[in-house]
Amino acid sequence: MRYSPLLTDLYELTMLAGYLEQGIHEQPAVFDLFFRHNPYNGGYAIFAGLETALSYLEELSFSADDLNYLEGLKIFRPEFLSYLQGFRFQGSITAPAEGSAVFGREPLITVEGGLAEAQFVETALLNIVNFQTLVATKAARINGAAAGATVLEFGLRRAQGPDGGLSEARAAYIGGVRSTSNVLAGKTFGIPVMGTHAHSWIMSFPDELTAFRKYAEVFPDSCVLLIDTYDTLKSGLPNALVVAAELREKGHALAGVRIDSGDLAYLSRHVRASFDQAGFPAVKIVASNELDEHVIESIRSEGGRVDIYGVGTRLATCAGEGGGALGGVYKLVKVADQPKLKITSDLSKATLPDRKRVLRVVAPNGVFIQDVITLEGEEIAPGSMVYDPANPLQRVRIPADARFLEVRSLVMENGVRCAPSPPLASAADLCADQLRRLPEGCQRLVNPHIYKVSISPQLNALRLKMVAEIEGKFA
């Protein structure tokens, strides 16, 4: 899907016009995209949206129709509109692989190029990465709560518009939810599609048993029956058992039943016991109805016997405490040869200047210990002292037996990808591996372990120096 260049905030265009008129539009610039706090008050986030972002950058151009619209706004000069005719992104992008575990304060995407092009892509990159990273994180939390049970994404009807539904299914797959009800997502991304039927199917026939039988006739080898239209245990379950026996007599097998209301832990236990007693242990139990990681964890803790969780609204809308939006921001960190710093009265909100690397400190057993942000050319070794970016008085020493991994790599140079995009399944596999390597407690839903992100000695010194210089101007 091609994103229009007009999918932007107006101020990106007005700044572009100003940069051009001031003659600084081609000055080398570096911007960082990052977030300050992990979503859902959790212990991590899962990076997603890079492939979508790179496609946007590759295809970025203004059509004649776009330029005609901008001309009609009566706020831009002809010289600027002429400049936009040949506008392309020709910069570079440094980023983690999709599926990587990432954390607050560290740069995710770094954009380098002329000031105009690097500035202009801000809105679209934030739109893409904020949403997909938030969904991937929510999906990882839900998938973790399911503890090995299958999770089906079916939030399309509650998603933020058609594109939101498509992006949500993609990002949820990266986070570990590897099936969807969204047929277009299945075609576009190769995600396995799953589904049952609605209550309206049941109510379209004279009675529930007839409805079940007719559905089984159409789909004898993939029949999943919705059993809570009238009464789950007194009507839906007995009728599903009848159809299961009839399918077996014809050489087929009932695939499963779905429960969409009521006490899912209690109902699923009774449904499981009934099918097992009747000789149908392979019948899967699907549960749905406003599920999220907390509800799923509750179902499991109460002995629920659910094989597949259908998660829709609360995944598609990223609902939950500390959710709703990732809060990613896009800040200038260098222009020409000058590092740049945004500062407020709260040092914890001051940005980190200049080009940077993100190193992951790894224990000998492969478990992640912490991340360290360094200046680009700075050397750092095990045993080095590193600093808390929110409170430089707090510091910690990197273990002497640790090793470093580069969290990010150059993925686009001169506006061209450095390598073909990996399959979406690779991002999902990476996510699963990264979650396994997080320190104990990081995946807790309540009061998770806080994964430390530190800054290096030279980066700490540069920031403190720049803060002092800025504050000195207003003393």
User: Quick check: 322 pLDDT over 90?
Assistant: no
Residue with tokens 């399959």: 423
Q: What is the pLDDT of residue 345?
A: 67
Q: Give me the domains of the chain, ranges plus CATH numbers.
A: 10-135+323-473 (3.20.140.10), 195-303 (3.20.20.70)
Task: Report the pLDDT averaged over residues 79-107.
Answer: 98
Reported as half-sphere exposure (CB side, CA atoms, 13 A), residue 206 has a value of 1
DSSP 192: P
Average pLDDT along the chain = 96
Q: What is the pLDDT of residue 343?
A: 83
Question: What's the rounded Cα separation, in Å, for the pair 95 and 53?
Answer: 11
Reported as half-sphere exposure (CB side, CA atoms, 13 A), residue 102 has a value of 34
φ/ψ (deg, to 5) at 84: -65, -20
Number of Cβ atoms within 10 Å of the Cβ of 266 = 15
Task: Report the pLDDT averaged over residues 84-95.
Answer: 98
User: Quick check: 29 pLDDT over 80?
Assistant: yes
Q: What is the pLDDT of residue 297?
A: 97
Work out whether strand 416-417 and strand 409-413 pair parallel, antiparallel, or are unpaired: antiparallel
Complete edge-to-edge strand list for the sheet that includes strand 385-387:
395-397, 385-387, 452-455, 368-375, 356-362, 403-406
pLDDT band of residue 475 (cuts 50, 70, 90) is low
To which H or E segment does residue 123 belong?
Answer: helix 122-146
Q: What is the pLDDT of residue 18?
A: 98
Q: What is the pLDDT of residue 198?
A: 96
Task: Report the pLDDT averaged over residues 18-45.
Answer: 97
User: Quick check: 271 pLDDT over 80?
Assistant: yes
Residue with tokens 């407020």: 344
Distance, first Cα to last Cα, the chain: 52
User: Quick check: 12 pLDDT over 90?
Assistant: yes
Question: What's the rounded Cα separation, in Å, for the pair 410 and 419?
Answer: 10
Q: What is the pLDDT of residue 2?
A: 82
Question: What's the rounded Cα separation, in Å, for the pair 391 and 455?
Answer: 11
Q: What is the pLDDT of residue 295?
A: 97
pLDDT tens profile 427-464 = 999 999 999 999 999 999 999 999 999 999 999 999 99
User: Quick check: 113 pLDDT over 80?
Assistant: yes
User: Quick check: 202 pLDDT over 80?
Assistant: yes
Q: What is the pLDDT of residue 325?
A: 81
Question: What's the rounded Cα separation, in Å, for the pair 192 and 222?
Answer: 14
User: Quick check: 382 pLDDT over 80?
Assistant: yes
Task: Report the pLDDT averaged over residues 379-405.
Answer: 94
User: Quick check: 312 pLDDT over 90?
Assistant: yes
To which H or E segment does residue 394 belong?
Answer: none
97, two tokens: 């692989």
Percent of the chain with pLDDT over 90: 92
pLDDT tens profile 327-380 = 999 999 999 999 999 987 667 678 999 999 999 999 999 999 999 999 999 999
Q: What is the pLDDT of residue 63?
A: 97
User: Quick check: 150 pLDDT over 90?
Assistant: yes
Question: What's the rounded Cα separation, in Å, for the pair 139 and 144?
Answer: 8
Contact criterion met (CB below 8 Å) for 395 and 421: no
Percent of the chain with pLDDT over 70: 99
Q: Give the residue among 109, 120, 7 at the shortest CA–CA distance from 49.
A: 109
Helix (H, G, I), strand (E, B) or coil at 90: coil
Task: Report the pLDDT averaged over residues 244-266.
Answer: 98
* The pTM of the whole model exceeds 0.85: yes
Q: What is the pLDDT of residue 344?
A: 74
